Chains A and B, each alone.
Chain A
Amino acid sequence: MISWRAIVAVAKKEYLDSVRNKWIIAVTAIYLVLTLAFSYFGAASSGQGVGFQGFNRTVVFMGSTAGLLVPILSLMVGYASIAGEREQGSLGLLLSMPLTRLELVLGKYAGLALVVATAIVAGLGIAGLVIASTAGAELWDAYLGLMGATVLLGLAFLAMSLFFSSLVQKRSSALGLAVFLWFFFTIIWNIILIGVVVATGGNLRIPPGGGGGSLELPGWYWGAQLFNPGQAYSLYMQRAFASAQTFGFGFGAIPDYASAGAAAASLLLWAVIPVVLAYLRLRRSDI
């Protein structure tokens, strides 16, 4: 038996407490400025001068940079959520109330998810309105898809930060884990995968004279990307909204099973499973 009233109370508290955090406002602003800046200056490099570009280019660009920036937002929002309260002692007070640990985890996740979603929707939404009013609203549906997928990416990293926050006793350890998570999923992951591709006889082709080298990626490489929410997000954007060429991934055929649906399902699982793990971890632990 779950008390929705308790979950809503915790969610509201988390939202009110985080939304006034200047850091989060700053990340939203950065995201907004970045989207607009790309849309405005993005074509300059190809000699087309400055000016707002349509959603087409914006979706492509944001689809690849959100994978770096959104995890930072989520990790910052979530890393201290449990460890911080445990360290300062307010977790004990909270759990002395008629509130189960499941309700606590669900309430925290819901409230923080709302913070992350608000930041992403506000950042991308305001940028979207500016672009639509200057460069036209063509492909607005792809842009909405970008927003939805980006929110899901945000939730996936939020869920992970919640789980990692439940593992440690101190805010500082939780921050360390959050930094590690970001590095692992955005940087180390690809180094490892490419390394495995090469080590297992992957076909690295560098044309004579150098430059423009390409890698013939095996099918499993794309399957493996489903296990990384950041990569699943890129995969989703690529499969759902653009051809591989637009994204600059001329890296061999993507197998059918690494579809937009599979990528979306992966993101969804990433947004759920760590929350369950956080609960299991907290369920019987001493506060």
Chain B
Amino acid sequence: MAVIEARGLTKVFNGAAAVDALDLAVEEGEVYGFLGPNGAGKTTTIKMLLGLTRPTKGSAKVNGTAVDMTSVAFRRDIGYLPERIAFYPNLTATQTLGFFAELKGADKKQIPKLLKRVGLKEHAKKRLGAYSKGMRQLLGVAQALLGDPALLVFDEPMEGLDPRWRREVKTIITEAHKDGSTVFFSSHILGEVEEVADRVGILNKGKFVAQDTVANLRSHLTVKSRLRIRLKDGAEAAGYVAAKVPGVARWWHSGDEILVECDPDAKAKVIAAVAASGKEVVDIRSEDPTLEEVFLELTDKGAAS
């Protein structure tokens, strides 16, 4: 059964479509990574799915019930973490979670456990006005987990967290997945999504440019890695050496530097070949394809097919 189902979801702001006829189906128990650069329409889509923003066209179903701004039926089993979360500065963490538990009809006994889970146990009695951005984000995660909802909707959950808590949020997503929950989360960073998501949808300018499993997407991606090698001398000659390595697509040289565009797994071979040719390597920098390049690649493909 599809937990989230959207058909032709469209939102027009000032004559421009922020979300353009989006079709989406997220199956029960799936972790879905909703990927796209800032401004692609991810948050607008999420807000439409939660009945916070009214679609200009199209409709959505969540938890089997039609999404409607005025109804609460479909909201009963959702844990939502908004983008840049904010709380009430004069309440403590315990009071805040207590308030949301009352609204959700969730058991308040969970609260200490959840606060511990996100590392805020020692700060439970502190006013949230004194919380840092990262602490608020973690409290937001705890809030979303109240009542063990069947669907978690996280908008940029790792934004503003240090690596340790980023890891922890990933673990929380993975565990929710194991418990059978469906997770729909957005990000603008490819690496955040590919580790935990079963399926990924890439949004650009309000439209999907790709929707596939992570493994399929990766094998289809033909965006090359780039290797920047600085040499003591003889850069051009080194370029000819690199060009002979299988997997190298193109190369340039400028001054004492060569830039090699190649398959990701050819990088080590290029470095080895250049070093073996007797040139003295001063510096190596590897540039992996940025998400923007992936988008460009995908949009070009979309236009060609």
Which residues of A does B touch, CB under 8 Å? 5-6, 8-10, 12-13, 16-18, 20-21, 85, 88-90, 92-101, 283-284, 286-287
Contacts and interface: CB of A to CB of B under 8 A. Distances in A.
Given A96-B52, A97-B75, A17 B85 contact: no
A9 B95 contact: no
B91 A286 contact: no
B91 A13 contact: yes
B90 A90 contact: no
Contacts of A100: 70, 72
B46 to A, nearest CB: 9
Contact of A93 (B72, B82, B105): B82
B87 interface: yes
A16 B83 contact: no
B103 A98 contact: yes
B100 A97 contact: yes
Contacts of B85: 89-90, 93
B100 A90 contact: no
B53 A287 contact: yes
Given A9-B99, A99-B72, A283-B70, A92 B90 contact: no
A70 B52 CA distance: 35
A17 B100 contact: no
B76 A96 contact: no
A198 to B, nearest CB: 47
B47 A287 contact: yes
Contacts of A6: 102-103
Given A96-B75, A97-B75, A98-B76, A284 B82 contact: no
Nearest to B89: A17
B70 A96 contact: no
A96 B72 CA distance: 9
Contacts of A96: 50-52, 75, 78, 80, 82
Nearest to B44: A286
A98 B105 contact: yes
Between B50, B53, B54, B69, the greatest number of chain A beta carbons within 10 A of the residue's beta carbon is seen for: B69
A21 B129 CA distance: 12
A93 B53 CA distance: 12
A287 B95 contact: no
Given A17-B91, A96-B80, A90 B104 contact: no
* Secondary structure of the B contact surface, majority rule: loop
B250 interface: no
22 contacts: A5-B102, A6-B103, A9-B103, A13-B91, A16-B95, A17-B88, A17-B90, A89-B84, A89-B85, A89-B86, A90-B85, A90-B86, A90-B88, A93-B143, A95-B52, A96-B82, A98-B75, A98-B104, A99-B75, A101-B70, A284-B54, A287-B53
Contact of B82 (A5, A13, A92, A99): A92
A91 to B, nearest CB: 9
Interface in B271-285: none
B99 A12 contact: yes
B92 to A, nearest CB: 9
Contacts of B91: 13, 16-17
A9 B89 CA distance: 17
Nearest to B13: A286
Between B76, B99, B105, the greatest number of chain A beta carbons within 10 A of the residue's beta carbon is seen for: B99
A88 B86 contact: yes
Contacts of B54: 284, 286
B90 A18 contact: yes
B102 A286 contact: no
Given A92-B82, A286-B53, A97 B104 contact: yes
Contacts of A17: 88-91
Contacts of A5: 102, 105
Interface in B36-82: 47, 50-54, 69-70, 72, 75-76, 78, 80, 82
A97 B99 CA distance: 11
Contacts of B102: 5-6, 8-9, 12
